[in-house]
Amino acid sequence: MEKISTEVYKKIDNDLYNADGDIWWKPDTILHLLKTSVNPWRVGCAKDIIKKLAIDPKGKTALEVGSGGGILTEEIAKMGFITTGIDPADQSIITASNHARASGLNIKYEKGTGENLPYANGSFDFVFCCDVLEHVQDLPKVISEISRVLKPGGVFIYDTLNRTFISKVVAIKIWQEWKRWAFMPPNLHVWEMFIKPGEIKELLQKNGLDWKEHTGSSPNVSIPKMLGFLRKRAKGEWTYADLGQNFWLVKSNDMNILYAGFAIKK
């Protein structure tokens, strides 16, 4: 897989993460769904991986690449890791820092991109990069940087969106474009930037990361019920908070849309 062309990269709205104020932790906001609807699945996957590897996070160093407002970073810190988050969006870093302070969590947040991580080789025991790889222009560089900053034997945990016909219909048309159901702003995601499991696997192997497994995701409710929820939100009968209280992701074998995985640095 190669760097995304400037023409395609121009379509994604990564400026959103620099909007003024707290766009992450208020319950009635789109990005708070990362906490209510995505965290149960991805934090569950991460904990299962850590358990399977029989690693005690206490005292281990972890970096989250693309930490945004800290919705996943705080869960990483709560597991016991000495935690750092890095993100290019100044406003998100301010929100994440304020929230960690108010929650009594000791997390170091810094500004930077996955393509140029400001850390020495072999700095971290774990790197997390969740819901970010489909937002970057130079994926090969990000993966090579993640590998570089991991210690030998270190663990890379990620999740991202697959580039399938189903993800085009669901994640682009239903979530963003078709007004009947859409709950995300246009261009939050760009389908051409989605990543097939085989593509990430190949990039990991090329960069000295031994790929181990992928896990899929599904909604906790049936598809017709899910569409009913989205319709209520689109009509204004439900808030994002209502959506988050009724819908979340669960582990499944379905890799068509959002999938998680991990690899070990050789």
Ligand X SMILES: C[S@@+](CC[C@H](N)C(=O)[O-])C[C@H]1O[C@@H](n2cnc3c(N)ncnc32)[C@H](O)[C@@H]1O
By CB under 6 A, residue 244 contacts ligand X: no
Q: Are 33 and 104 in contact (CB under 8 A)?
A: no
Which residues pair with residue 265 across a beta bridge? 209
Task: Reduce the secondary structure of 174-220 to three states and give it as a string.
Answer: HHHHCCCCCCCCCCCCCHHHCCCHHHHHHHHHHCCEEEEEEEEEEEC
Applying CB under 6 A, what is the total number of residues that bind ligand X? 21
**Closest distance of CB 190 from ligand X, Å:** 12
How many Å apart are CA 81 and CA 83, to the nearest integer? 5
By CB under 6 A, residue 161 contacts ligand X: no
Among 88, 154, 219, 261, indicate the residue that binds ligand X (CB under 6 A).
Answer: 88
**Closest distance of CB 18 from ligand X, Å:** 8
Among 46, 49, 50, 72, indicate the residue that binds ligand X (CB under 6 A).
Answer: 72
Among 113, 160, 176, 207, indicate the residue that binds ligand X (CB under 6 A).
Answer: 113
By CB under 6 A, residue 218 contacts ligand X: no
Which residues pair with residue 216 across a beta bridge? 252
How many Å apart are CA 73 and CA 66, to the nearest integer? 10
**Closest distance of CB 64 from ligand X, Å:** 6
| Residues at the contact surface with ligand X, assessed by CB under 6 A | 14, 17, 34, 65-68, 71-72, 87-89, 92, 113-115, 130-132, 135-136
